[in-house]
């Protein structure tokens, strides 16, 4: 069952990344050709690559996520897909394409102003999901680091060099390893 949830989330993320990369390419092509973007698209064109990167990070972390985390991500990823798909449709309607006539370009330049509030709303929603994903990554990374440190500290406490030496000193096991018994008491040895 966990594999199915992982595959569902991974497939959804791949869809969002695919559409997101197309949108980024379209915005970049328009920017390169006209040396700018309409105001409505400037901010989102800078945030979208970061969002795609966050999605790639999420996709690579799926196998270490809990089942509940994967299930929680799925609706959020699907909503992001809807927003980016809407953005792609808006870009098609608002920005001129390569084969558009001069008249069509002028019309789309005027119409792009109409889409400004829609694009701002899409940008806001995408930004919120990006923030949630970033918070999840940070908190899960912190949890993993704390867990790793706790495990390391507990191992060091139980299996530290001094403890091993004190436990084994004078026993047959210590002698059978052909390790000389130190003449200096362990407590007086300086540590690096």
Predicted pLDDT at 40: 77
Name which of 84, 83, 91, 79 is nearest 115 in CA terms.
Answer: 91
Q: Residues 4-14: pLDDT tens digits?
A: 778 888 899 99
Q: Residues 99-142: pLDDT tens digits?
A: 777 788 777 777 777 888 888 898 898 888 888 887 876 776 66
Q: What number of other Cβ atoms are within 10 A of residue 44's Cβ? A: 24
Largest CA distance in the chain: 95
Nearest-angstrom CA–CA distance, 142 and 140: 5
Q: Are 87 and 122 in contact (CB under 8 A)?
A: yes
Q: What is the pLDDT along the chain (192 residues), one digit of tens a residue?
A: 567 778 888 899 999 999 999 999 999 988 888 888 887 788 889 989 998 998 898 888 888 888 888 888 888 899 989 999 999 999 888 887 777 777 887 777 777 778 888 888 988 988 888 888 878 767 766 666 555 554 544 444 444 444 444 444 444 444 444 444 445 554 555 555
């Amino acid at each position: 069952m966990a594999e199915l949830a992982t595959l569902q989330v991974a497939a959804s993320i791949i869809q969002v990344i695919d559409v997101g990369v197309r949108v980024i390419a379209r915005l970049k092509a328009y920017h390169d050709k006209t040396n700018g973007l309409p105001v409505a698209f400037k901010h989102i064109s800078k945030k979208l690559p970061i969002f795609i990167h966050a999605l790639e990070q999420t996709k690579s972390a799926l196998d270490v996520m809990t089942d509940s985390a994967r299930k929680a991500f799925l609706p959020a990823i699907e909503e992001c897909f809807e927003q980016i798909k809407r953005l792609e449709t808006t870009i098609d309607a608002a920005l001129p394409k390569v084969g558009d006539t001069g008249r069509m370009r002028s019309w789309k330049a005027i119409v792009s102003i109409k889409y400004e509030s829609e694009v701002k709303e899409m940008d806001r929603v995408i930004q919120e999901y990006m923030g949630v994903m970033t918070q999840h990554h940070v908190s899960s990374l912190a949890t993993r680091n704390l867990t790793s440190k706790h495990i390391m500290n507990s191992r060091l406490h139980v299996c530290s060099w001094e403890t091993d030496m004190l436990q084994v000193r004078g026993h047959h096991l210590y002698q059978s390893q052909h390790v000389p018994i130190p003449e200096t008491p362990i407590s007086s040895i300086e540590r690096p």
